[in-house]
Amino acid sequence: MNRFVSADTIVALATAPLAAGVAVVRLSGPQALAAAGAVCPALGRDAKPRQMVYGPFVASDGEAIDHGLAVYFKAPNSFTGEDVVELHGHGGRAVVQATLEALLAQHGVRAAEAGEFSRRAFLNGKMDLTAAEGLADLIAAETDAQRKQALRQLDGELGTVFEAWRTRLLHLVAHVEAAIDFPDEELDVLEAAGLKNGLDALVADMQSALSNQMGQRVRDGFQVVIVGVPNAGKSTLTNLLTGKETAIVSPIAGTTRDVVEAHLTLGGYPVILADTAGLRETSDSIEAEGVIRARKRVDAADLVIAVTPAPDWPSVDADVRASLKPDATVVVVSKSDCFHHDLPMAFEDKGHAYPVLGLNLTDPTSLDALLPALTRVIEGTYGSTQSAARLTRDRHRSAVQKAVEHMQRALTLYAAPNPAYSLSDLLAQDLRDAAAALGTVTGRTDTEAVLDVVFSTFCIGK
């Protein structure tokens, strides 16, 4: 067992804390089998691993609590790498509470802290930190894209990328340290080792990962903002996309004065949709504040849907044109049922072409054209959904950025060595620092602070 893992046996409800048909109570630690056997005597101290047994659950005074199933996982072949027992009983709150109390009454058993099961799994080498984060994301996944991304991360895809980068760095460190023994020939040794080419390739790979925003957008949601002049049909579009009356629709211009936000799924992607106030100059102080907020949301948007009414087409309001984002905008010509001319495939402004859709926003079938168009922009702008190096958290980005900075400093040193210092010593230190930064992501370079940040977001029982 890892020296940082507590010798305590921990217990918690592993399923949702709601009334349900079945609830799973999990124990992990050296007393797991003995404690579970005291509550479920059918399990016994000689239980066969991975074999379900059925029997009563009893309190310490012998009173019956429930009937259910119990299964034992012998270390190290368990989720945590320790002895683990699961009790599968009925999911009533009183049943679960009585089962937990009976287990907590056993010697050496305490309630688990948030994320403690996963933390023990990490410390016992059952998963790295990226996989642990993937598990948390899988539990929280609400869309298919989130589920797929989280499962890939849980299966080690992101951790493999970081370990490959780190291994390449450590190989370069080994060559640099070898050059220390040949001070008169160190530049020749470093050139023969391909130091510059190796660092250039690593920096390029990591900068590509930093530029790919898809991982965090899939995890946190894409910010999609609807903009347009007053009474263009923005609120009608919001209601069409959400499938309910999210925003007030009125023939009176300026009805929407604040940002109306809704969470939904578009093409399998999580989206935070914002319906904004109509863009125009106004003397109404409340409406003017709404316009200011609309412009702020546009600045932070991942995707803009610019709505312009068909009677105004092909003219597009100047404030709306100022909101267009190259490669991240779809122009919707609303009220197209009143417009009997063919629309161009794109709207051109300042050298950029934006896809155009003519839609009747009161017709639900308009989604058949709109949703694929929005999905194409998301995937085209934020990278392929199959990209391996998808950073899903700020801490990943911070670590990669630090590694890149150390490698760029090493490249600068290599290009203009200072004869007053040992080049190889300085290079080796920067490359070790870069490798250490990458190691914090997977947990190779672990600190209690990093572990606390990762596992504090987990729920009890995971």
| Beta bridge partners of residue 238, listed in sequence order | none
**Per-residue pLDDT tens over the stretch 272-298:** 999 988 777 777 777 778 788 888 999
Longest dimension (CA), the chain: 83
Do 240 and 377 reside in the same domain of the chain? yes
Considering the domain architecture, whether residues 350 and 433 belong to the same structural domain is answered as no
Q: Kindly indicate the confidence band of residue 36, based on its pLDDT and cuts at 50, 70 and 90.
A: very high
Token pair recorded at residue 176: 């640099």
Residue 326 lies in a domain: yes
Question: Does the residue 28 lie in any domain?
Answer: yes
The pLDDT tens digits of the residues spanning 170-192 come to 988 888 887 776 666 666 767 76
Q: What is the pLDDT of residue 385?
A: 46
In this prediction, residue 3 carries a pLDDT of: 43
**What are the residue ranges of helices labelled H in 180-314?**
186-192, 195-211, 214-220, 234-242, 285-299
Both 223 and 356 in one domain: the answer is yes
CA distance linking residue 141 with residue 324, whole number of Å: 31
| pLDDT over 90 (residue 436) | yes
Amino acid at the residue 152: R
How high is the pLDDT of residue 149?
93
Distance of CA 221 to the CA centre of its chain: 9
Q: Are residues 401 and 373 in the same domain?
A: no
Residue 414 falls in which region: left (phi positive, over 0), alpha (psi -120 to 50) or beta: alpha
Boundary-marking domain end, from 382, 416, 441: 382
Residue 335: CATH number of its domain: 3.40.50.300
Q: Which domain holds residue 90?
A: 9-124
| Angle, vertex CA 436, rays to CA 198 and CA 196, nearest 5 | 15
The CA-atom distances, in angstroms, between 170 and each of 210, 245, 290, 410, 430 are 21, 57, 54, 14, 11
Q: In a 3-state reduction of DSSP, which class is residue 262?
A: strand
Last residue of a domain, which of 333, 353, 382?
Answer: 382
Tell me if 273 is assigned to some domain: yes
B/e letters for 69-108, b = 16+ CB within 10 Å, e = fewer, are: bbbbbbbeebbbbbbbbbbbbbbeeebbebbbebbeebee
Same domain, 234 and 375: yes
Q: Which two tokens stand for residue 65?
A: 């609590």
Residue 165 lies in a domain: yes
Q: Is 166 a domain residue?
A: yes
What's the pLDDT score for residue 457? 65
Q: Are residues 47 and 14 in the same domain?
A: yes
Mean pLDDT of the chain: 87
Angle at the Cα of 417 (from 411 to 423), degrees rounded to 5?
A: 85
For the stretch 45-97, pLDDT in tens is 789 999 999 999 999 999 999 999 999 999 999 999 999 999 999 999 999 99
Whether 117 and 175 map to the same domain: the answer is no
User: Does residue 161 belong to any structural domain of this protein?
Assistant: yes
In terms of Cα–Cα distance, which of 349, 265, 275 is closest to 315? 349
Rounded Cα distance between 34 and 5, Å, is 19
pLDDT digits (tens, 9 = 90+) for 150-172: 999 999 999 999 999 999 999 88
DSSP tag of 181: T
What is the C-alpha separation between 46 and 75, in angstroms, rounded? 14
Taking residues 371-395, report their average pLDDT.
Answer: 80
Same domain, 206 and 269: no
**Domain-ending residue, one of 124, 153, 173:** 124
**299 vs 447, which has greater pLDDT?**
299
Residue 364 lies in a domain: yes
Domain count, the chain: 3
